[in-house]
Structure 1
Amino acid sequence: MPPTLQRLAPRRAKSQLRVAELLRAARGVFSEQGFQRATTAQIAERAGVSEATVFTYFAGKRELCMAVIKDWYDEISSQLEAEVPRLQGIHAQLSYVIRQHLVTLLADGSGMCALVLGEGRATAPDLADLAAVSTECKRRYTQPLMDCLARAQAAGEIRQDMPLRLLRDLIYGSMEHVLWDSLNTQRRPAIDTTAEQLTTLIWSALLPRDASLESLARFRADVSQALRQLEIESHSNNNTPPRRATAKTGAARRSTR
């Protein structure tokens, strides 16, 4: 290997390590302080470097915040992309996504969630690129569930009279309200219980409008088939053929009532 490549490799590895350290420190500061109150001096202090070092790798606070958001979303999106397709059935996929999202919101990254939700709605011109990054990252994050919903909708497993965009807002919007309520009251709800309740509520809203009637019809058909099979087996055990209902026997039964 040429000597120049041998020298470049350690430098590149050292730079990658320093960037990872800065991203970790910045994530903590942005989570605690929000974008507006956080400073590069605070981030440098937490990372144990000079503020000049921060600007060696990032042009400014906004660029550093965008890198933090991308890095965080890459972590949580990769997990969903790997796990959701392995689950069988839209109900199992929905249940997993809801619980995992609540864990992200309430346990692992409530500060980051508040940052993303806040800056994602920023309207100031100088924060437009920050909002755009948040929007693109959220699109990737929600895509695994959106793909599952699209397949389930095409198969008639969930209602087809609503656009997927509204179904997405129903699912993630309900959990966003849980986050804001938790932040405002400083009380974290039980994640498992909340996940089960939300899954039940959202699933009932996703079911086709005539699903209950179809379920009842299938249930009645299954019961009728089971009764016929039971009668056949009963007569077979008694070595007597099963009786067939006729107009005469039906009339005779009615006359004796």
Structure 2
Amino acid sequence: MRPSAPPPAADTPRPAGQAKTRRNAPAPRRASLRIHDLHDLASVARQLREEHERAEAQAKAQREAAARLEAERHLFSRSVGPVTSLRNPNLARLRHRQPPPLPVQHWLDEERVLLESISDDFDVSTLLDTDDQLSYRRPGIGVEVTRRLRAGHWSIQRQLDLHGLRVDEAREALGQFIRHTHKIGLRCVRVVHGKGLGSPGKSPVLKSRVQRWLVQKNEVLAFVQARPMDGGAGALVVLLKPANHRNT
């Protein structure tokens, strides 16, 4: 029988080179992981540093703005010196301002005077010049005034058209028109009453009434029938007193 080979001893030493190679085999992988981790840490550190710098810059800007506001707040005291606040502000307590009163009664009085000053019962025939156009001039006004008014010496500054109005509406509109134009300083106006072509009987309804109403207005100095280019028989050209002229 062949003698069996003795089992190898458990602590038989291995070659030194082989043992070192097996222990250090994973070393390259761990080295690459460490390098990658260091790169990430550097990136994080850089981001933290940038955020810190931004926060510092923002805080600095806020401090500077607060300092400027505080300097502006104390600008007066630094300019004039020490200031002592008054214990008693000495301020009057005012009530809320009331709206101005409306002159309602004055308006009512003016309206009543307006209605009373123009009457349909007034006889105007004796006051009109008996020419073909029945012109009117207030006593004391010379004939040359109506002649110049008819010739267009004064420019027509405003016009009132009474077409389509009832008699009471036309009377009120004419009174307001004469009062307003005289108040704002106009001198020459035109009142259109129509020729009556659309009225029953083809006769003017407002023509004689407008003449009667105008004669009763103190603001009126004279009136004549308008020239054909200004309305002819369907309108009157009215001359008013100056605004600063006292009514008599």
Fold match by TM threshold 0.5: no
TM bucket, shorter chain = under 0.3
The alignment's TM-score, normalised by the length of structure 2, stands at 0.20
| Higher alpha-carbon Rg | 2
Q: Which has the higher strand share?
A: 2
The alignment's TM-score, normalised by the length of structure 1, stands at 0.19
